[in-house]
Amino acid sequence: MGLGECLVGEAEKALVLQALERGQLFRYYGVGAGEPPAMVSTLEREFAGHVGSKFALAVTSGTAALEVALGALGIGPGDEVIVPVWSWISCFTAVVRMGARPVLAESDDSLNLDPAEIARLRTPRTKAVLVVHYQGVPADLDAILAAVHGTGVAVIEDCAESAGATYRGRAIGSIGAIGTFSFQARKIITSGEGGLVTTSDPRLYERTVRMSDVGQYRAFHEKLSPAAGQVFSGSNFRMGELAGAVALAQLRRLPALKLRLRAMRQRLMDGIQDLPGIRFRRIPDPAGDLGFETYLFLPSARHAARLREELAALGVNCTQHTGTYCHYARAYCQTGAAHAPGASPFAGLAPWPAPGYREQDFPRTRSLVERMVALPLGALYTEADVDHVAASLRAVWPGLEMETVGARLAGSASNP
């Protein structure tokens, strides 16, 4: 179960009931004076306040949020977007759906985009960098913003897996040009399906609304920020009131959830960080991550597989939770196909898969993800559960013979 999904209860029920009793399930058909009903608009207002961005627009999914963000930035055929090779399916497919080309980048030992990749991959066609804050840990945004400074390349923050996290005191989703969130069932907070876009730029806000509401910009949005841009053909990614009610109740749970996760993670770290040779995922700003998964890097894929197996035997489930794979391993990347033959942004890159889309092009990321193990923390984990994870790791650790491997790693700069 997802973190927020475990917590669904009275607060969600109460707001869903309120929405049903209003009898207005479409966000823009309000009950009085042209006002929309409360749920989606309240979610947007509170979410913007939470993130510290001027605007928030709720949509139907995190994937929709990505397409809306790309469209708002005017990204389409002929354009390129830098995307970490280790990221969720939609981070690649949303770019292809918009007709642009995803250009794949290596991740570093934070399991997020390596900022040095931006200079290596940027071309005159690069319009954006899609920064994916992977599983609760914000990417190194200072270095990423420095790498795009003065280039005109926009930073899109994909916060789908890290709602509530901060980077150097600011909420993620408020630092790049535009942020995207997902409320799918396995995310930090959920409405089953759902998503949201944040920005502080009124021009981008207008375009996100038009992207998500078949090109329209209604009176509700006019009041928040007067229209100044062009009408264009958008899609329909509007969130309904029932999803809005659940997402709103979940948003209100987020601060307490984050506090709890961070406290449990600290307890886990206190129990394991002295283990000889242990290597953790690098967290660029340890004050702001969510802490629901604790990643270790082992010396080899074989060590990682063995550790997973031995922990599973003790009841610690540390299989990979996110369903994330390197894009080159997935069929959509291997075919390079779009929904229509002429729509693929990879036409002209023959033979396919071209360099930049093959396993051998990403040795650093491949090595990291093969050697990692994620220790889990659930929203309902008790102190005893956390202590069990720590004790289990301590119990199996000596069998991995990390002392000898650790000494070998200490001399190797290429390992985290």
Ligand X SMILES: Cc1ncc(COP(=O)(O)O)c(C=O)c1O
Contacts with ligand X, residue ranges (CB under 6 A): 61-63, 66, 87-88, 90-91, 132, 158, 160-161, 182, 184, 195
CA distance 201 to 182: 21
Task: Kindly report the three-state secondary structure assignment for every residue of 244-311.
Answer: HHHHHHHHHHHHHHHHHHHHHHHHHHHHHCCCCCCCECCCCCCCCCCCCEEEEECCCHHHHHHHHHHH
Minimum Å distance from CB 132 to ligand X? 5
Residues forming beta bridges with residue 81, ordered by sequence position: 102, 128
Closer residue to ligand X (CB): 87 or 126: 87
| Host H or E run for residue 84 | strand 80-84
Q: Which two structure tokens, joined as six digits, stand for 149? A: 């400074």
Torsion over CA of 83, 86, 90 and 96, rounded to 10 degrees? 40
Minimum Å distance from CB 66 to ligand X? 6
Closer residue to ligand X (CB): 189 or 261: 189
Closer residue to ligand X (CB): 150 or 323: 323
Closer residue to ligand X (CB): 284 or 299: 284
Minimum Å distance from CB 411 to ligand X? 35
Closer residue to ligand X (CB): 71 or 195: 195
Minimum Å distance from CB 323 to ligand X? 8
Minimum Å distance from CB 30 to ligand X? 27
Closer residue to ligand X (CB): 107 or 392: 107
Nearest residue by C-beta to ligand X? 62
Minimum Å distance from CB 96 to ligand X? 14
Long-range contacts of 142-150 (CB under 8 A, 24+ apart): 142/168, 143/115, 144/113, 144/115, 144/118, 145/175, 145/176, 146/115, 147/115, 147/116, 147/118, 147/119, 148/118
Q: Are 234 and 215 in contact (CB under 8 A)?
A: yes
